[in-house]
Amino acid sequence: MLDIAYIRENVELIKDNSRNRGSLIDMKAFLKLDRDRVEHIKKVDELRNKKNQFKGKPSETELKRLTTNKLEEESLSKRLAQIEEKYLELLMQIPNTTHPKVKISDDEDDNPILESKHKPKKFSFQPKDHVELGKELDLIDFDRATKVSGSKFFYLKNEAALIEIALAQYAIKTAIKHGFTPFITPDLAKKDILNAMGYNPRGESTQVYSIEDTDLCLIGTAEIAMGGYHKDETFSENDLPKKYVAVSHCFRTEAGSYSKFSKGIFRVHQFTKVEMFIYTTPDNSEEAHQEILDIEKEIFDGLELPYRVIDHCTADLGTPSYRTIDLEAWMPGKPNKDGSMGDWAEITSTSNCTDYQARALNIKYIDSEGPKRLVHMLNGTAIAMTRPIIAILENNQQEDGSIVVPKVLQEIVGKKIIEKRRD
């Protein structure tokens, strides 16, 4: 969340930024709540000070006054709690500030392309999509997953299961090479952690699965678990940056995605992901963001997949993000807007969230001059398994129906070519 003092001093700037980013926050209502909150805090503190200042045995008149003050304090405290709840709800809806290089646009598809690598292959035959390839080569089972878990779940089998294992090891080893510490995280986190990270666990449009009769939710990314890892902690400046690479299962309801492309394993309720996370000082956060992006590019250069780098415009930025940059892979089996086959799709995302999440989580460091300052927090996908598997299967298919395994994965997969199984 943003600093309330900064909001009060920059109301018009906050309004413009919120409008650019599609936030419907009612700033007038929020600022009124802020004034009410301050006034109630002041009154409650005054009543508590009066109580604390009283010494000795009270007279009958003083006892009546103390009782009246106590009842008033209880009433004001109850009202303050109600104001605080609504205040925090609105505060968390105000988006982070925006990097000056981010394009201002109200079209979430209007994302500038920064770079393209490895041109898409021109097939001499009609390429198949990953669903057809998965069925023919016995790599993915949707029918039995639906029977066991419901729609948008899947089983990976045979070489596809080995590809996922190989991708995880490849991504983790690459991150470790760059000084990242490996983790395996819990798959559950408390609602207050999700809220602080900018993920709303409530409402019909939420992407979060909540566990009934608990304050726990299934995480949608290891960013949540790693962001909460240092809650209420203070670093020495010499301890930063902290660089982590974490494996987790990810769970998403995919609410509101009925109109989006979701064939096969493209958009599912559960998948495995390897996530990079950095805690650093404000002076180094832009450098850290570039480092994460460079590692993402290194991973996909190694897989020899066609990809492009895109910079999210304001309409496509998540609430906590200062700047977000994605890699999009070419997928021959994904329909394009013009009806032809072949399109780009997000495979990684890296965001600099500056101190937005750290403020809510109370994560600070002591700089060289002594005062405590909020850290900057950054995240980035090393590998989110399903879509890279789609890109590997579809881009590396051969005319005879076989699939070439990327060289960096061949040792674990145990073969160079995935061929149709003989009965």
| 316-345: average pLDDT | 95
The percentage of the chain sitting over the pLDDT mark of 70, rounded to a whole number, equals 95
pLDDT of residue 139: 98
* Residue 270, burial from CB neighbour count under 10 angstroms (0-12, 13-18, 19+): middle
245 touches 232 (CB < 8 A): no
pLDDT of residue 204 exceeding 80, the answer is no
Nearest one of 183, 227, 187, 248 to 353, comparing CA atoms = 227
Q: How many residues does the chain have?
A: 423
Mean pLDDT of the chain: 93
List, for residues 105-119, the tens digit of each pLDDT value.
999 999 999 999 999
**Interatomic CA distance for residues 326 and 328, integer angstroms:** 6
What pLDDT is recorded for position 268? 96
Is the fold of 4-91 the same as that of 113-418? no
Q: What is the pLDDT of residue 348?
A: 98
Please give the torsion angle defined by the CA atoms of residues 9, 12, 18 and 22, in that order, rounded to the nearest 10 degrees.
170
What are the tens digits of pLDDT across the range 356-403?
A: 999 999 999 998 777 899 999 999 999 999 999 999 999 999 999 999
pLDDT interval class at 256 (50, 70, 90): low
State which amino acid sits at residue 301: D
- Between 57-61, 81-85, 371-375, the lowest mean confidence (pLDDT) is in 57-61
For residue 53, pLDDT over 70 is answered with no
Element (H, E) at 117: strand 113-117
- In the chain, domain spans: 4-91, 113-418
Peptide bond into 241 cis (omega under 30): yes
CA dihedral 341, 312, 180, 361 (to 10 degrees): -130
Tokens of 114: 């920064």
**Domain spanning 4-91: which CATH class is it, in words?**
mainly alpha
CA distance 264 to 4: 45
**Mean pLDDT score, 12-18:** 96
Range 327-338 burial, b when 16+ CB lie within 10 A, else e:
bbbbbbbbeeee
**Residue 15 per-residue DSSP state:** H
pLDDT per position as a tens digit, 206-240? 789 999 999 999 999 999 999 999 999 999 999 99
Q: Could you read off the pLDDT of 401-421 as tens digits, one per residue? A: 999 999 999 999 999 999 998
For residue 74, is pLDDT > 70? Answer: yes
CATH architecture entry for 113-418: 2-Layer Sandwich (3.30)
Beta-sheet strand order (sheet of 234-236): 234-236, 364-366, 372-374
Q: Is the CB of residue 392 less than 8 Å from the CB of residue 358?
A: no
Instruction: Give how far Cα 178 sits from Cα of 171, 226, 276, 326, Å.
Output: 11, 18, 11, 20
pTM of the model: 0.93
Task: Return the pLDDT at 378.
Answer: 98
Instruction: Say what angle helices 27-53 and 11-20 make with each other, to 10 degrees.
Output: 130
User: What was the pLDDT predicted at 200?
Assistant: 79
- 130 vs 52: which has the higher pLDDT: 130
Run of H or E residues at 138: none
pLDDT 10s digits, 269-327: 999 999 999 999 999 999 999 999 999 999 999 999 999 999 999 999 999 999 999 99
Check: CB of residue 399 under 8 Å from CB of residue 386: no
SS3 (DSSP) at 255? coil
Is the predicted pLDDT of residue 196 greater than 90, yes or no? Answer: yes
Predicted confidence band of residue 205 (pLDDT cuts 50, 70, 90): low
